[in-house]
Amino acid sequence: MICLETQHFNLNRTLLLAIGLWPYQKSKLVRLQIILFFGILISFVTVQFTALITKKCTVNFIIKVFSTMIFFSVYVIMYNMFWINSHRVRNLLEQLQYICNELKDENEFNIIKKCGNNTKFCTLTCTVFAICSTFLVILQPIWPEILGIVLDINKSRIQSQAIHITTEYFVDQKKYFYLILLHINTVICIGATTLTATGTMLLGCAIHACGLFKIASYRMEQIMKIKMLKNVNLKDRTMIYNKKIFYAVQIHRKTIKFCEFLSSTFKGSFFLLVIITVISLSLNIYGIFQSISLGDKEEFLLHLLLASIILLYMFVVNYVGQEITNHNNYVYFTAYNSRWYNAPLQAQKLILFVLLKGSRTYYLNIGGMIVASLECFATLIKTSMSYFTVIYSMEDYLPIYVKLGSL
């Protein structure tokens, strides 16, 4: 028997525990931790929004603020998504554990164990990448102090390198520079952990769903490989065929149900994330071109980093959705290519049911509006580029609109 929590999702469990989002054992201290972390994330989005109220708003300034504010809103949505759906995340893991408890032979256990190894590898890779990226971002403004003996850089230079994100704290930012820097670094650490923990948890569930589809295909292949049935009477042959087909259909249906529960659990949050990531990608691409034209290297690196993270996240989500579709289609192809005509008549009818069911391609739905696939990824990129093109082409006219709106 495989315990998914301790054997396959142990690293995911550690990451979620670090930010208080593990759906089990919710103590008062954990609830306080959740409120504190969520408040820190909300506060950082708020101080970016207040900059629009207190400072003079030009078109470039508005786009600059929104390009970062919308990106950090993703942290808030992802954190809130797992917070309010903690009971559903627990049900998701329990469903997966229940299905794995019904595995039949060693080959099926090996398939699901391989999924667990892939989950741990992907989680470890994403965690190492997140730690390295966060470490470099946090150390970037204090490198001049660390290397002050070698690099003759004064404090004002350090401060100019540190804060690239427009904020308004209603205090003297030079005087409280290190407190503001602490707030920003805390948000980056919590946000990076949130994206890694929640993203890898969903990725792990999707990897296991692909493994369950593999098991359904494996069971379908084994139906027509039973040689000892030649010496068995027709009634017993029919019972054995029906039983094995039932096991194959059963795990396939449970896997479909698991995938549907996964997508429906976060339906509203996925819908917001799709909209926000498309808008954020468009604004950050515009920011990249704008910073190139102005020769601002720091702004260029900031927008490039944010756009790269969004692109990577969008690609992984849609690639996983495409893999789920491909593995589901393989169940249909396995049933279609098997020697179903050698089976008893009643068993042939059951296989025909599988063929009819599998003739309709299954897609992982995201937010109730799109399906996760590589085609969807291309569509989202195309949409983001279209919005960027509109903004860039209207660059000369936008200041006029802003002036007319302020009259």
Q: What is the 3-state secondary structure (H, E, C) of the chain?
A: CCCHHHHCCHHHHHHHHHCCCCCCCCCHHHHHHHHHHHHHHHHHHHHHHHHHHHCCCCHHHHHHHHHHHHHHHHHHHHHHHHHHCHHHHHHHHHHHHHHHCCCCCHHHHHHHHHHHHHHHHHHHHHHHHHHHHHHHHHHHHHHHHHCCCCCCCCHHHHHHHHCCCCCCCCCCCCCCHHHHHHHHHHHHHHHHHHHHHHHHHHHHHHHHHHHHHHHHHHHHHHHCCCCHHHHCCHHHHHHHHHHHHHHHHHHHHHHHHHHHHHHHHCHHHHHHHHHHHHHHHHHHHHHHHHHHHHCCHHHHHHHHHHHHHHHHHHHHHHHHHHHHHHHHHHHHHHHHHCCHHHCCHHHHHHHHHHHHHHCCCCCCEECCCEECCHHHHHHHHHHHHHHHHHHHHCCCCHHHHHHHHHC
Quickly state the pLDDT bin for 244 (edges 50, 70, 90).
confident
Q: Does residue 124 carry a pLDDT above 90? A: yes
CA–CA separation, 97 vs 392, rounded Å? 50
CA–CA separation, 356 vs 95, rounded Å? 26
pLDDT of residue 127: 93
pLDDT of residue 203: 93
CA–CA separation, 171 vs 174, rounded Å? 9
pLDDT of residue 320: 92
pLDDT of residue 358: 61
pLDDT of residue 405: 47
pLDDT in tens, 190-200: 999 999 999 99
Quickly state the pLDDT bin for 33 (edges 50, 70, 90).
very high
Q: Percent of the chain, pLDDT > 90?
A: 36
Scan for tokens 């063929």, then name that residue: 355
Please, what's the largest Cα pairwise distance for the chain?
92
pLDDT in tens, 209-223: 999 999 988 888 877
pLDDT of residue 396: 59
The Cβ of residue 95 has, within 10 Å, a number of other Cβ atoms equal to 16
Q: Does residue 66 carry a pLDDT above 80? A: yes
Quickly state the pLDDT bin for 73 (edges 50, 70, 90).
very high
CA–CA separation, 241 vs 344, rounded Å? 8
pLDDT in tens, 315-365: 999 999 999 999 888 888 887 776 666 666 666 666 777 677 666 778 888
- Asked if residue 79 lies in contact with residue 19, where contact means CB atoms within 8 angstroms, the answer is yes
Q: Does residue 146 carry a pLDDT above 50? A: yes
What are the structure tokens assigned to 118, written together?
A: 């892939």
pLDDT of residue 371: 86
pLDDT of residue 52: 83
Quickly state the pLDDT bin for 186 (edges 50, 70, 90).
very high
Looking at per-residue confidence, does 336 or 227 come out higher?
336
Q: Does residue 59 carry a pLDDT above 80? A: no
Closest C-alpha to 198, from 38, 93, 89, 37: 89
For all residues of the chain together, what is the average pLDDT? 82
Closest C-alpha to 4, from 117, 154, 133: 117
Q: Does residue 107 carry a pLDDT above 80? A: yes
pLDDT of residue 232: 54
pLDDT of residue 228: 45
pLDDT in tens, 266-314: 888 888 999 999 999 999 999 888 888 878 777 788 888 889 889 999 9
CA–CA separation, 51 vs 30, rounded Å? 32
pLDDT in tens, 357-405: 666 778 888 877 788 889 999 999 999 999 888 888 876 555 544 444 4
